[in-house]
């Protein structure tokens, strides 16, 4: 091969073994030195040996240890993004996309989703954040941070030539031990009276909310969330808690409706003549159109006698009047329909002192049905009393700039609606996300009924326990478990960093407390108000145990998954296939357990 680069003119001619000459362009760009063939077919090689082309042209493969290290680096870079959002002094991120949508959020999962990560290895972190979100609802920042930290700790070992599988095994063992320890340390809130339970749950919700934008009013919202969750009891359907957003007003103007509330729907003339308040009304729920319209879309009527004309017109009117009459006869005072209620029907109902609303959103209608004990009807024939719902008070009320239909005091009590108020759209959006987290936490805590001390206390305790345990192990594993333990300390450290405290100092104090022989310091965590340490449990900084268990589990799995990848094959063709290929391969190598991650 004849290779004569000329740096003044960034081209060179290359003759390959068959004697063909190609002109290649040389890119000299900030240390990146590449050769690109200017003619289509790139069948030449600067290496002496013939290269076996196995994969499609342009496929980028990286492999071996450097690949592993680079994956770790990428994950750490991602973890760094969400790092500062942890804890009550955590900051928010403002992200706006190409379309100009702006999101201000503190929620790990939301941020990860919006970052639009394309790096195949880092995508795993997005997945675990999402899975934590859907599984537990809170702790999404924690899980990403932990995974990043596990990898950071693993990196020097990989550099030193430890086989990744060794690391993986030890990490798995450590996570198993950690989870067992959490279960042991968790305090059950089972068997307490309702009042007691309420305040316990409120504490859990308050801990979650303290890191959010609405942290200033956390007690206010925590009670609201607990009331809402208790209202739907053990019902699994989360959509029974509705969150309605109304811009304007302050957070304190938010309120909880023990029932359903939705915005006034589009109304026709005559609506204002209907009564707007009822006590113990019967509610008829429909899924039909109450409008003057042709009964069949493609039917056609042929008249030969013009005198019959009126009878057709009358027939149509009779159909609709018949329907309306049946609604009125049913005794219902409120008629809701998912489809339109036309002006004719509106006026007819107004004459009969009945309130009606058409085009009610489907989930609102279902929630009304669940709350009032009614059933949605698809016909007005044979409406019996059993299908009618009821509630204590119905009222149309002004909330901010909107009018709201509020059904309060519903008998079956399976729904609750939180009407959120706030100064700006983004503010309410973020408040909604925060409340969602809190609701999930309270539900989780109700189901599992065990809580652990927050504020980094549990993390420090597990860390101490693992360190202690590591000393009993002979062999390499000792080092790895130790580093796992060290990685767990990232939570209290980050809490301090975000609050602007001296992390080393606080951490040392915590280590000392937790090392006390009789275990009396096991509940100590970072005191975010003074910059010292305090008994988190006594200060009601609680999290459900399941949040921590799930976080450690998911983070360990993700770390193991990334450690087990030693080759990435990038297919140049389709952008979207890229991530899948690498992730798919990674999973294959990680074995069956890796795949099980999401399910847990």
Partner 1 sequence: MALAFDEYGRPFIILREQESKSRLRGLDAQKANISAGVAVARILRTSLGPKGMDKMLQSPDGDITITNDGATILEQMDVDNQIGKLMVELSRSQDYEIGDGTTGVVVMAGALLEQAERLLERGIHPIRVAEGYEIASKIAVDHLQQISHKFEFSATHIEPLVKTCMTTLSSKIVNRCKRTLAEIAVKAVMAVADLERKDVNLDLIKVEGKVGGKLEDTELIYGILVDKDMSHPQMPKQIEDAKIAILTCPFEPPKPKTKHKVDIDTVEKFQTLRQQEQKYFDDMVQQCKDVGATLVICQWGFDDEANHLLMHRNLPAVRWVGGVELELIAIATGGRIVPRFQELTPEKLGKAGLVREKAFGTTKDRMLYIEHCANSRAVTVFIRGGNKMMIEETKRSIHDALCVARNLIRNNSIVYGGGAAEISCSIAVEAAADKYPGVEQYAVRAFADALDSVPMALAENSGLQPIETLSAVKSQQIKDNNPCCGIDCNDAGTNDMREQNVFETLIGKQQQLLLATQVVKMILKIDDVISPTEY
Of 294-313, binders to partner 1 (CB under 8 A) are: 294-296, 298-307, 309-310, 312-313
Q: Give 118 or 538: the residue with its C-beta nearer to partner 1.
A: 118
Q: Least CB distance from residue 104 to partner 1, whole Å? A: 6
Q: Least CB distance from residue 493 to partner 1, whole Å? A: 16
The interface region with partner 1, picked from 232-240, 242-250, 449-457, 519-527 by CB under 8 A, is 242-250
Q: Least CB distance from residue 346 to partner 1, whole Å? A: 8
> 243-262: which residues touch partner 1 (CB under 8 A)?
247-253
> 86-105: which residues touch partner 1 (CB under 8 A)?
88-98, 100, 102, 104
Q: Least CB distance from residue 108 to partner 1, whole Å? A: 13
500 contacts partner 1 (rule: CB under 8 A): yes
Between vectors from CA 33 to CA 29 and to CA 39, what angle results, nearest 5°?
A: 100
Q: Least CB distance from residue 294 to partner 1, whole Å? A: 4
Q: Give 235 or 395: the residue with its C-beta nearer to partner 1.
A: 395
Six-digit token string for 489: 């300390």
Q: Give 79 or 205: the residue with its C-beta nearer to partner 1.
A: 79
208 contacts partner 1 (rule: CB under 8 A): no
**What is d(CA 195, CA 593) in angstroms, rounded to the nearest whole number?**
42
**What is d(CA 595, CA 127) in angstroms, rounded to the nearest whole number?**
12
Cβ–Cβ under 8 Å, residues 281 and 334: yes
Q: Least CB distance from residue 228 to partner 1, whole Å? A: 22
> 381-410: which residues touch partner 1 (CB under 8 A)?
397-398, 400-401
Concerning whether 140 is annotated as a catalytic residue, the answer is yes
**What is d(CA 263, CA 260) in angstroms, rounded to the nearest whole number?**
10
Selected catalytic residue, list 133, 138, 364, 437: 437
36 contacts partner 1 (rule: CB under 8 A): no
The interface region with partner 1, picked from 83-91, 196-204, 225-233, 363-371 by CB under 8 A, is 83-91
What's the gap between Cα 564 and its chain centre?
27
Contacts 24+ apart (CB under 8 A), 531-536: 531/496, 531/499, 531/501, 531/502, 531/506, 532/506, 533/506, 533/509, 534/455, 535/453, 536/453, 536/454, 536/455, 536/456, 536/457
Concatenated DSSP letters of 413-476:
---EEEEEEESSHHHHHHHHHHHHHHHHHHHHHHHH-EEEETTTHHHHHHHHHHHHHHTT--ST
Selected catalytic residue, list 85, 103, 110, 141: 141
Main-chain dihedrals φ then ψ at residue 22, nearest 5 degrees: -120, 145
Selected catalytic residue, list 103, 110, 140, 372: 140
Q: Give 273 or 379: the residue with its C-beta nearer to partner 1.
A: 273
The interface region with partner 1, picked from 85-93, 234-242, 281-289, 533-541 by CB under 8 A, is 85-93
Q: How many CA atoms lie within 13 A of 95 on its CB side?
A: 19
Q: Give 166 or 426: the residue with its C-beta nearer to partner 1.
A: 426
Cβ–Cβ under 8 Å, residues 411 and 393: no
28 contacts partner 1 (rule: CB under 8 A): no
**What is d(CA 567, CA 60) in angstroms, rounded to the nearest whole number?**
10
Q: Give 274 or 450: the residue with its C-beta nearer to partner 1.
A: 274
Q: Least CB distance from residue 339 to partner 1, whole Å? A: 16
Q: Give 403 or 486: the residue with its C-beta nearer to partner 1.
A: 403
* CA-CA-CA-CA dihedral for 187, 189, 195, 200, to nearest 10: 40
Cβ–Cβ under 8 Å, residues 108 and 85: yes
C-alpha distance from residue 418 to each of 195, 247, 257, 302, 421 (Å): 21, 14, 6, 55, 10
Selected catalytic residue, list 107, 364, 497, 535: 107
Cβ–Cβ under 8 Å, residues 111 and 143: no
Q: Least CB distance from residue 122 to partner 1, whole Å? A: 5
The interface region with partner 1, picked from 342-350, 369-377, 460-468, 470-478 by CB under 8 A, is 342-350
Q: Give 424 or 516: the residue with its C-beta nearer to partner 1.
A: 424
Other Cβ atoms less than 10 A from the Cβ of 272: the count is 9
Q: Least CB distance from residue 138 to partner 1, whole Å? A: 18
> 96-155: which residues touch partner 1 (CB under 8 A)?
96-98, 100, 102, 104, 106, 115-119, 122
499 closest CA partner among 477, 532, 469: 532
Q: Give 316 or 385: the residue with its C-beta nearer to partner 1.
A: 316
272 contacts partner 1 (rule: CB under 8 A): yes
> 507-566: which residues touch partner 1 (CB under 8 A)?
529-530
Tokens 């998911």 appear where? 554
Pairing of strands 355-357, 334-337: parallel
Q: Which residues pair with 407 in a beta bridge?
A: 260, 394
Q: Which value, in Å, is the radius of gyration of the alpha carbons in the chain?
A: 32
Q: Give 351 or 363: the residue with its C-beta nearer to partner 1.
A: 351
Q: Give 16 or 67: the residue with its C-beta nearer to partner 1.
A: 67
The interface region with partner 1, picked from 16-24, 134-142, 264-272, 329-337 by CB under 8 A, is 264-272
Concerning whether 141 is annotated as a catalytic residue, the answer is yes
Among 227, 343, 566, 567, binds partner 1 (CB under 8 A): 343
271 closest CA partner among 163, 147, 355, 148: 355
> 569-598: which residues touch partner 1 (CB under 8 A)?
none
Q: Least CB distance from residue 136 to partner 1, whole Å? A: 24
Between vectors from CA 434 to CA 430 and to CA 437, what angle results, nearest 5°?
A: 145
- Could you give the string, one character per residue 419-448, with x where binding to partner 1 holds by CB under 8 A and - elsewhere? ---xxxxxx--x------------------
Q: Least CB distance from residue 489 to partner 1, whole Å? A: 22
Among 12, 187, 344, 569, binds partner 1 (CB under 8 A): 344
Cβ–Cβ under 8 Å, residues 209 and 218: yes
Q: Which residues pair with 246 in a beta bridge?
A: 421
**What is d(CA 587, CA 594) in angstroms, rounded to the nearest whole number?**
6
Catalytic positions are 107, 140-141, 437
């Amino acid at each position: 091969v004849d290779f004569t680069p000329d740096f003044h003119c960034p081209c060179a001619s290359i003759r390959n073994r068959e004697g063909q000459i190609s002109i290649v362009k040389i890119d000299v760009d900030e240390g990146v030195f590449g050769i690109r063939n200017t003619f289509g077919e790139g069948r030449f090689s600067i290496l002496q040996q013939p290269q076996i082309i196995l994969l499609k042209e342009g496929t980028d493969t990286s492999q071996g240890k450097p690949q592993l290290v680079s994956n770790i680096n990428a994950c750490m870079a991602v973890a760094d993004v969400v790092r500062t959002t942890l804890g009550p002094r955590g900051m928010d991120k403002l992200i706006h996309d190409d379309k100009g949508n702006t999101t201000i959020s503190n929620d790990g999962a939301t941020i990860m989703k919006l970052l639009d990560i394309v790096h195949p290895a880092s995508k795993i972190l997005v997945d675990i954040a999402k899975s934590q979100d859907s599984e537990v609802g809170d702790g999404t920042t924690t899980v990403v941070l932990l995974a990043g930290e596990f990898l950071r700790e693993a990196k020097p070992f990989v550099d030193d030539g430890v086989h990744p599988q060794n690391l993986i095994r030890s990490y798995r063992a450590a996570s198993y031990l950690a989870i067992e320890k959490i279960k042991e340390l968790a305090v059950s809130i089972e068997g307490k009276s309702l009042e007691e339970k309420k305040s316990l749950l409120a504490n859990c919700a308050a801990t979650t909310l303290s890191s959010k934008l609405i942290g200033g009013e956390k007690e206010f919202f925590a009670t609201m969330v607990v009331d809402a969750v208790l209202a739907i009891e053990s019902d699994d359907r989360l959509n029974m808690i509705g969150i309605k957003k109304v811009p304007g007003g302050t957070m304190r103007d938010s309120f909880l409706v023990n029932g359903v509330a939705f915005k006034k729907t589009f109304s026709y003339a005559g609506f204002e003549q209907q009564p707007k308040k009822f006590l113990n009304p019967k509610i008829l729920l429909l899924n039909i159109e109450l409008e003057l319209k042709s009964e069949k879309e493609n039917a056609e009527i042929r008249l030969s006698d013009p005198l019959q004309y009126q009878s057709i017109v009358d027939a149509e009117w009779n159909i609709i009047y018949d329907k309306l009459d049946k609604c009125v006869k049913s005794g219902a005072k409120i008629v809701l329909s998912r489809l339109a209620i036309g002006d004719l029907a509106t006026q007819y109902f107004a004459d009969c002192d009945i309130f009606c609303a058409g085009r009610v959103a489907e989930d609102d209608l279902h929630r009304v049905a669940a709350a009032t004990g009614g059933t949605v009807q698809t016909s007005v024939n044979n409406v019996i009393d059993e299908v009618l719902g009821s509630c204590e008070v119905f009222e149309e009320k002004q909330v901010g700039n909107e009018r709201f239909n509020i059904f309060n005091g519903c008998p079956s009590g399976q729904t609750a609606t939180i009407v959120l108020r706030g100064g700006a759209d983004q503010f309410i959006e973020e408040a909604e996300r925060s409340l969602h987290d809190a609701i999930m936490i309270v539900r989780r805590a109700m189901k599992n009924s065990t809580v652990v001390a927050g504020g980094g206390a549990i993390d420090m305790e597990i860390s101490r326990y693992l360190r202690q345990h590591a000393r009993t192990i002979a062999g390499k594993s000792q080092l790895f478990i130790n580093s796992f333990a060290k990685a767990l300390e990232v939570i209290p450290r980050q809490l301090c960093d975000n609050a602007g405290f001296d992390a080393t100092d606080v951490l040392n104090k915590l280590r000392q407390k937790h090392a006390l022989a009789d275990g009396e310091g096991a509940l100590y965590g970072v005191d975010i108000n003074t910059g010292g340490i305090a008994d988190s449990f006594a200060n009601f900084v609680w999290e459900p145990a399941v949040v921590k268990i799930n976080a450690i589990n998911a983070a360990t799995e993700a770390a193991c998954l990334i450690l087990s990848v030693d080759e990435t094959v990038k297919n140049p063709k389709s952008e979207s296939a890229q991530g899948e290929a690498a992730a798919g391969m990674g999973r294959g190598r990680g074995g069956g357990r890796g795949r099980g991650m999401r399910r847990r």
